[in-house]
Amino acid sequence: MKTRILTALVLAPAAIALILFAPTVVLAAIAGAAFLYALWEWTRMLGQRDNGLRAALVTVNGLAMLGLWLSRGSAWWWAVILAGVAWWLVAALWLRHFSFGVAPTNQNTALKLTAGFLIVVPAWCGLLQVHGGVDHGPWWTLFGLMLVWVADSGAYLAGSRWGTTKLAPRISPGKTWAGVYGALAASAAVGVIGAWLLGLRGLALAGIFLLAMLTVLASIVGDLFESLIKRHASVKDSGDLFPGHGGMFDRLDSVFAALPVWAAGLALLRA
């Protein structure tokens, strides 16, 4: 636990400083590298042992991200973000069928590799769309990420205190419905305070509050989906990059799901 806390104390300020003070192009490069490293871990969880093939798969996704960056704001850019939103609806259905995709067949591997693209690339586009595409973008970006971070803490505190009814025992035995309620309650407080500080009132504040709740629900699905894949792979963590925290994908699973929902929702509310 001490190692976990120390790691968080280092990572959190660095992430916040990057979001608030770095130009979007710098954030694109650093976040892109982190997201692609998470994808590298994803290929390992899928049982890929050929590092050359894994590198090729990650490179293809990196080239896709570069192409999207060069055409940001285009129909392709938004199509990828919306595909990310749609993917998490599909993932929520997948969670109801634990055994789907568990057999080590080529078809299942291809499906999960496609899922990797739909998890990582739309999240990257969503991050940059909010950071560089809206007024006060860095603050809106931090707002969205704070919802996820606070929800994670709220889930842990409520689950450890009141958690009795399991949320998805075959997928993640430690998660409870009390944790879900704690996540929503904690993020609801952050949603209201954050929207108020950003100058929203009335219907605009209500709209952001609703979007915040949807974003947190998506983050919960993202966390559960990675747990599902780890159960399929019989691994505890995606990697060991961060002491006490596991791998990069372990740190970003909720964020991956939240970002396209947050970006698309903000665009809809501002339309």
Residue ranges of the domains in the chain? 2-270
Are 181 and 217 in contact by the 8 Å Cβ rule? The answer is no
Beta bridge partners of 166: 176
Are 32 and 62 in contact by the 8 Å Cβ rule? The answer is yes
Question: Helices in 134-201 by DSSP H: which ranges?
Answer: 137-162, 177-197
pLDDT at 253: 94
Determine phi and psi for 100, rounding to 5 degrees: -65, 125
For residue 268, the surrounding DSSP H or E stretch is helix 248-270
What b/e string do you get for 229-246 counting C-beta neighbours within 10 Å, with b at 16 or more?
bbebbebebbbebbeebb
What is the DSSP secondary structure assignment for residue 50, as one 8-state letter?
-
pLDDT at 4: 56
pLDDT at 271: 60
Low-confidence stretches of the chain (pLDDT beneath 70): 1-9, 101, 103-107, 243-245, 271
